[in-house]
Amino acid sequence: MYQTVRTEPKSFFQRYPDNRGGWVNKKYPYQVLYRLREVVENPIIFVCEGEKDVETLRSYGFVATTNAGGCNAPWLQQFTDVLRGREVVLIPDRDAPGRARVGRIARSLLGKVAKLVILELEEGKDVTEWFERGHSDVEFIALAEGSEVTQ
């Protein structure tokens, strides 16, 4: 449908195919959750702030998604509709914009999903950095379930 392209210095823009082999460099009119096919096929979904974090979680076998546009992008009704009835774990980045974003998403999902968890990780700026600091998938599952990890 569309791509989010990262440029250096760090910036992003969207583009979509023009059906003639080229691209239209603007936001696609209908936004969807990242990795939508995986999301609609699974009952438990992790929502994080960016595509990098989604890919980190996927590398550990979790189904994750995000919306394009970063922490200030609006959470759209169609995103809530896709997640309706599922278990959703929201993972904020460890900063004020990340927590504010998760608050907005949580208010949209409340009463519409089967279970809603906000998982604030204690180390690292995001879930990718948390794993890079040596944490395991088993520890992550325990935190998401509200259990303690014993080794």
CATH code, domain with 78: 3.40.1360.10
Residue 147 has a pLDDT of: 52
Domain that holds residue 115: 31-145
Residues 136 and 66 in one domain: yes
Strands 44-47 and 87-90: parallel
Mean pLDDT over each residue of the chain, to the nearest integer: 91
Residues 73 and 122 in one domain: yes
| Listed residue (44, 66, 59, 68) closest to 131, CA to CA | 59
Residues 22 and 76 in one domain: no
pLDDT digits (tens, 9 = 90+) for 19-70: 999 999 988 888 999 999 999 999 999 999 989 999 999 999 999 999 988 7
Quick one: pLDDT band at residue 116, thresholds 50, 70, 90?
Answer: very high
41-70 core/surface letters (b: 16 or more CB in 10 A; e: else): ebeebbbbbbbebbebbeeeebbbbbbbee
Residues 5 and 55 in one domain: no
More confidently predicted of 45 and 148:
45
Q: How many domains does the chain have?
A: 2
Residues 84 and 133 in one domain: yes
Residue 151 forms part of a structural domain: no
Quick one: pLDDT band at residue 101, thresholds 50, 70, 90?
Answer: very high
